[in-house]
Structure 1
């Protein structure tokens, strides 16, 4: 009878969390699609190219936070930024912020963890993206970027017949919907996988086991979670619903944040792609940056939770 109850509980959780995540993801992706339509990539490149260091890093991290892309999309954009003359440090701030702080991650965290943890997460990742971009350029790591260029192509706005303003807005609206559903089709397997794993943990894994292995009283839980997360290919859309269950089961919020940052920030495919444009020393610096952010954020979150500032 207990097994049947566990199955029912897991099934109910799976259905509820899947529906919530699907609706949330499509809505967020549509809004991001509108941003992409009204603030095209070429305009972003022009803004970043014209900015001085420091201010440019802030803009780089900001624009990185608007891109709900996996590494397969982030790396080509990075190459494009470097190709048009965006300073390396600014492009690096974009690289750090893009996988760690984008609208999809932000709103999923907001829905599952609440406002305060989400804002703290955003402040940490944004600050590190800006600071790491400034420091890595000052350290001279730009010399470890390989010579990679992209073929120039005409943007869609420079061809075709002039359209009325109403027609342009309708086209952009339609493009945003297409973007949202295209992105959804790419991500839906990861959402379902995350919800399924979360449902299994919710229904079948004892709380005592999770607390013993990764609870807040285990001093090694945060660095271990960060190290495990870095080489794993876990999209944020997968790990965040899993993390919500792990938190409810007793896993420390510090370890959860370390796992999210490690998994989203430096997956194996991303590191592999970076190796095609960065020399090994720069790739290592990137992985160390992500690992450092994961551990720092994890420790800070655990301290804030222990002080009662973050409710878990």
Structure 2
């Protein structure tokens, strides 16, 4: 083996040992420092601010997951989120649309649910519906675009959850998606196949050294795992916001007919646009003649599968589940956009 090949092999092995995500983050920062040093401080500040904004959701969800594991209450929580599959998909879709989680804030909760053995179908329904709208965003939508659009977005969130939830339920009944999580992330399975046998919970787990140690280890492990992926997502987002302005992205979806709705969906799926920042921009474009259906498709697609959310989902689940997640976002957003355009 040549010296160059040997060095490349050693570099690759070192990268795997150091963790590819952290290596990627450092590589991006070094590239910024060399190529565009003026952008480096802005990206660092942006990443820190976004991590701080999602930290309460991350901390709460991590603590709940660690507490559930330490007390032995995780199987009880999983059972509370299970039951008849059809009923759970309906409940998860409605609850997701009313929950206060953003596309990234919902990720730690999803990780906890799946690792507890909660069936994938209701989790997918909640996963898809939750980022589209929350109570605060509903009120802001009323103020910026109007009540009709706000109600339409709420119904779109529920519809997207139902589409993804029932499609996933159908696939699981055919024998697919039996192990949704990546290796080493929890030990749950689809349909509750690996639901742990319920045992009496030990609520005051801090009196047991072994349970206290498990709480600490689970909390640290989950925080570091999710934190590194969110840091990478927000770092990439800072570059997108800088070099691909939101106004340019949203302005590409003007025009009449079905094509603007399709373009809005295709642009919204990979592009990041903060849900709160997007509302006044889309509202302004609608007032200038942009289709309401295109605006709805763009907001729904961007909320569900923005870059930070997509990276976080990719980190949690296996490739088939990730592909389905993107397909649901694409097809569901396009469908709700068309329906909203027809009934508007």
Measure how far apart 1:105 and its partner are.
2.8
Paired residues of 2:78 and 2:113 also in contact (CA < 8 A): no
Change in Cα spacing, 1:143 to 1:116, as seen in structure 2 (3 Å) is: same
Note the alpha carbon deviations across 1:125-163, whole angstroms, 9 max, x for none: 20230232122132134325124229xxxxxx9699xxx
Measure how far apart 1:104 and its partner are.
2.8
Paired residues of 2:304 and 2:329 also in contact (CA < 8 A): yes
Change in Cα spacing, 1:112 to 1:88, as seen in structure 2 (3 Å) is: same
Paired residues of 2:128 and 2:161 also in contact (CA < 8 A): yes
Q: Secondary structure at the match of 2:81?
A: helix
Measure how far apart 1:45 and its partner are.
4.0
Measure how far apart 1:252 and its partner are.
0.9
Q: Which residue of 1 aligns with 2:177?
A: 142
CA distance in 1, matches of 2:94, 2:316: 23
1:25-44 equivalence runs, <5 A: none
1:2-17 equivalence runs, <5 A: none
Q: Which residue of 2 aligns with 1:230?
A: 269
Note the alpha carbon deviations across 1:52-88, whole angstroms, 9 max, x for none: 1111112222332243333332111001111222211
Given the alignment of the two structures, is residue 250 of structure 1 paired with residue 289 of structure 2, yes or no? Answer: yes
Given the alignment of the two structures, is residue 277 of structure 1 paired with residue 316 of structure 2, yes or no? Answer: yes
1:220 to 255, 259, 263: 259
CA distance in 2, matches of 1:83, 1:213: 39
Q: Which residue of 2 aligns with 1:78?
A: 110
1:94 to 126, 134, 142: 126
Measure how far apart 1:46 and its partner are.
5.4
CA distance in 2, matches of 1:120, 1:70: 18
Q: Which residue of 1 aligns with 2:96?
A: 64
Paired residues of 2:253 and 2:263 also in contact (CA < 8 A): no
After the TM superposition, list the runs of 4 or more consecutive aligned residues in structure 1 that deviate by more than 3 angstroms.
40-48, 157-160
Unpaired runs of 5+ in structure 2? Answer: 1-56, 188-202, 207-237
Paired positions, count: 223
Paired residues of 1:228 and 1:259 also in contact (CA < 8 A): yes
Measure how far apart 1:285 and its partner are.
1.0
Paired residues of 1:254 and 1:301 also in contact (CA < 8 A): yes
Note the alpha carbon deviations across 1:171-217, whole angstroms, 9 max, x for none: xxxxxxxxxxxxxxxxxxx9xx9xxx89x89xxxxxxxx6x9613x2
Paired residues of 2:132 and 2:153 also in contact (CA < 8 A): no
TM-score by length of 2: 0.56
CA distance in 2, matches of 1:239, 1:106: 13
Question: What root-mean-square deviation, in Å, do the aligned CA atoms of Structure 1 and Structure 2 show?
Answer: 3.6
CA distance in 2, matches of 1:131, 1:291: 12
CA distance in 1, matches of 2:169, 2:342: 31
Change in Cα spacing, 1:128 to 1:70, as seen in structure 2 (3 Å) is: closer
TM-score by length of 1: 0.61
Paired residues of 1:48 and 1:59 also in contact (CA < 8 A): no
Q: Secondary structure at the match of 1:86?
A: coil
CA distance in 1, matches of 2:140, 2:306: 19
Paired residues of 1:49 and 1:85 also in contact (CA < 8 A): no
Paired residues of 1:223 and 1:295 also in contact (CA < 8 A): yes
Change in Cα spacing, 1:70 to 1:121, as seen in structure 2 (3 Å) is: closer
